[in-house]
Chain A
Amino acid sequence: MTTLDQLQPGQMAKIVRIDGFDGIASRLREMGFVPGQSVQFLRSAPLGDPLKCSVQGSRIAVRCGEARRVYIEPIAEPALVS
């Protein structure tokens, strides 16, 4: 198990859990980062931060700091569109 910021561009993963119960963890959950969902890392901004990923069909930018709170299980094959 690793965290979202460790993925390679284009790589997909399955969300395992989100660390913490504060405002930002809730915001991540509301925006679709929930256990069981698949997430794809798309690219990082020009200076390496923030990161752009795709979850539940929408594109979300998160900073590395937030991405480190998203625990994931990388998957080799692209997941089915939910």
Chain B
Amino acid sequence: MASSANPTLPSAGTTVAKVTSRVALVGNPNTGKSTLFNALAGMNVRTGNYAGVTIEKKIGRCDLGGSDSSGDRRVIDLVDLPGTYSLAPRSPDELVAVEVLTGDVESESPIDVIVCVVNATVLQRNLFLVSQVLELGKPTIIALNMIDTADARGFVIDVDQLSKNLGVPVVCTSASRRTGIADLKSAIRGELEQADSESVQMSKRDRPLPSEFYEVCDELRSELVSRACTTESLSQRAAAESVLPDQYLIERMLLDRGGEAERRAVRSLGAAVLPAISAAREKLAEKVGDPIDMECSARYSWAARSLQDVVSTKLAKPRNATDWLDAVLTHRVVGLVCFFAMMFLIFQCIYSFSSYPMDAIEYGTGLVSDWVTAIVPPGMLRSLLVDGVIAGVGGVLIFLPQIALLFFFLALLEDCGYMARAAFLVDRVMTLFGLSGKSFLPMMSSFACAVPGVMATRVIENRRDRFATIMVAPLMSCSARLPVYLLLIGAFIPSASYVGGFMSTQALVLMAMYLVGVVVAIPVAWLLKRTLLRGEVAPFVLELPEYKVPSASVLFSRVWEASKAFVVRAGTMIFAASIVIWFAGFWPGDHSRQFEIERELERLESIQVAASESPASELAAEPEIVTESPELDEIAAKIETLEAEHRVLSASLLENSALGHIGHVIAPVVKPLGWDWRIGVGAVASFPAREVIIATLGTIYSLGGDVDEEDEGLMSALRASKWPDGRPVFTVPVALSIMVFFALCAQCVSTLLVIKRETNSWFWPVLSFSYMTVLAYFGAMLTYQVGTRFF
């Protein structure tokens, strides 16, 4: 896919690639901007954040092909900004988007060309944003996207006329069908070359707002300059001018009451500018009426003027596929049935399709583990590699298929346009808990992993709604909790089945664990919206885009990015945590006898294997084996003794290790939960990441780290473990209490770090960690105390 768009860097040919320019993509949401970005940049994409704010930027390399006058290939950096309806900055995030376009971001070189992506089917609405983009005064190209859909709907668009009316190049594209991409590239090339050859004085375009507005703007500008400098000296005047924001931001300062441009002016120039701004607003109101009303009507009439003689329709407004589908999918009854069926189907698919790749990964991890065991002799290094690194990282990688599948389905629903309908359907219910329909997608994502879930809250503009969603997203049962559930359910919940095997107790318990988080999230969100995040009900205005066939490249890149992020996380954080836990369980203590036993065991086992593999007929020819064959029983007995000694020794080493000491300190704390010190250690050890519990339990139950939730060894070790008085440690209430603890706790450093990044404060991650840990503790205690009454 995207082979034509994939840049070859550096080029294999004779010409040398050079990156000289930055091109920004802007546009309304649902204009196919991401698909166009992928078509232009291929897979050569990196994402990043602007320092201090949560706006996500995607940067891709795009080879424009050909060669310019100097014989070099022209390669550009393509900056994809989040979809927006307007360039009026109301939040710091939106301000960053504007500053990227105006070139006010200090750390980055300015944008050379703006490509404004518009949806050809709702051209007039999209021209609102175009009118603001044109005012930035940068070389601009209009990508008239979804032209095929517009064509099918009977719109006839005179592109030349539109280009003439707007005064900028207009290129027809259909990003999903990959048509018009080459034209767009050459248009970008053209604009860049024009900018190269002459320092262009931007041709005066038809300015959308009344001339009075620009007059007042100029007055405000000189007023601000004279306030900023005390003397009339030219040099000071120039310095004051350089402090002033871009002309566009001065315009926004005037237009947006309480907007971000105004706030920034106050920050950089002092509160004294406020009277000047209000005076200018009053003057403007006298001349042309209220600024906001004036702006809207001026821009829309500009849009109508620009579309004169441009759009005609062949058909009288046809009822299109989207309306037909919506009649079903947003129906009061049928719509809800479809909604639940779809959710069920997704979870079903995730579980059924992921088992094969999961088995493959498990097998692969086993192979690596065996290989390391074979080449590294028993000792500290092998223990670190096998019990620490491979067990830790392998135990986490196994969830990659499920995560990839969940992301695939989420991307599918979103890209085809259904997610907005889901938000529409559930909004009323979500408002009861103080959330909104827009919280639905982030919460769904959190079932895979809270990290992308928290990041997906960016679709919620309202700060209070967004933070409330961020706070409850980690309660959704993510895939890292699944192994804990599977291990404990497998070991302790009887597999009785009802309704002809359709429902089993094990499945019911698993479902209950998933529900615990959802059910707890409701009062938490409700409480937050009435305390810390109190405020008016946030508005809900959501565009329901046209249904469309999802773009393979978008799906692929979303799944790829999510999988890559997950593997990196497993490869770094879990890797580090595994080593720390391994070390705490290993040190202090003299392991020489343990390794001696391991060496001896391996020697004996290899003899056993050699003997069993040699056919009886060959035995006669191999005297040394013949002499040993009578001792085979003896060897087996010796292996058993050594294994028993190894178990006891490992257990005592662990108990006297740093981890064991910690365990004994926390033992009284976890006693009310029905846990012994080993479970307590497991829970503490897995504070960085829940997945670690499996490897830790494995280590603790002296089986080494190479156990997973399917491992009969760990399951039976859990079943066999006893309190000093001989009672079994694990009972059904204890297993349930552990599961409830893991369902509610915030044991995930990545999530907490992402919360820090997204809220830009330490308060929220600390709060979510504290409240979830308290909830988990008391939830587990309640489960155990109530459970013991029944079992």
Contacts and interface: CB of A to CB of B under 8 A. Distances in A.
A16 to B, nearest CB: 12
A47 B537 contact: no
Contact of A65 (B293, B317, B537): B537
A39 to B, nearest CB: 12
Contacts of B121: 57
Contacts of A1: none
B305 interface: no
A34 B300 contact: yes
Interface in B532-547: 537, 539-545
A31 B297 contact: no
Nearest to A26: B292
B720 interface: no
Contacts of A37: 300
Given A50-B540, A65-B537, A29 B124 contact: no
B335 interface: yes
A21 B541 contact: no
A34 B297 contact: yes
A61 B542 contact: yes
B88 A60 contact: no
A30 B543 contact: no
Nearest to B317: A81
A60 B544 contact: yes
A56 B124 contact: yes
Interface residues of A, number: 36
B420 A29 contact: no
Contacts of B541: 24, 27-28, 31, 60-62, 66
Interface in B182-210: none
Interface in B332-364: 332-333, 335-336
B449 to A, nearest CB: 28
Interface string B65-105: 00000000000000000000110101000000000000000
Contact of A59 (B90, B293, B317, B322): B322
Interface in B83-133: 85-86, 88, 90, 121-122, 124-125, 128
A60 B539 contact: no
Given A47-B429, A81-B317, A57 B122 contact: yes
Given A34-B296, A62-B541, A66-B540, A26 B428 contact: no
A27 B544 contact: no
A50 B292 contact: no
A47 B124 CA distance: 32
B427 interface: yes
A81 B539 contact: no
Contacts of B420: 61
Contacts of B125: 31-32, 56-58
A66 B536 CA distance: 13
A48 B431 CA distance: 13
Contacts of B545: 58-59
Nearest to A32: B125
Contact of B330 (A21, A52, A60, A63): A52
B544 A59 contact: yes
Interface in B412-447: 420, 423-425, 427-429, 431, 437
B126 to A, nearest CB: 9
Among A25, A42, A43, A45, the most chain B Cβ lie within 10 Å of the Cβ of A45
B130 to A, nearest CB: 12
A25 B333 CA distance: 32
Given A25-B292, A32-B125, A45-B425, A61 B85 contact: no
A31 B544 CA distance: 12
A47 B331 CA distance: 11
B725 to A, nearest CB: 56
B124 A50 contact: no
Given A45-B428, A61-B420, A56 B90 contact: no
A22 to B, nearest CB: 8
Contacts of A24: 539, 541
A58 B118 CA distance: 13
B186 to A, nearest CB: 30
B313 interface: yes
A48 B428 contact: yes
Interface string A4-39: 000000000000000001011111111110111100
Interface in B374-433: 420, 423-425, 427-429, 431
Interface string B289-307: 0101100110010001000
Contact of B424 (A32, A61, A65): A61
B292 A21 contact: yes
A45 B330 contact: yes
A27 B292 contact: no
Contacts of B425: 45-46
Contact of B290 (A21, A46, A63): A21
Interface of B: 85-86, 88, 90, 121-122, 124-125, 128, 256-257, 290, 292-293, 296-297, 300, 304, 313, 316-317, 322, 326, 330-333, 335-336, 420, 423-425, 427-429, 431, 437, 461, 537, 539-545
Given A52-B544, A60-B543, 4 more contacts: A32-B125, A32-B128, A61-B427, A61-B540
9 contacts: A21-B290, A30-B296, A36-B297, A37-B300, A46-B332, A46-B336, A50-B437, A58-B545, A65-B537
Leading 4 A-B pairs by shortest Cβ distance: A47-B428, A24-B539, A59-B544, A29-B296
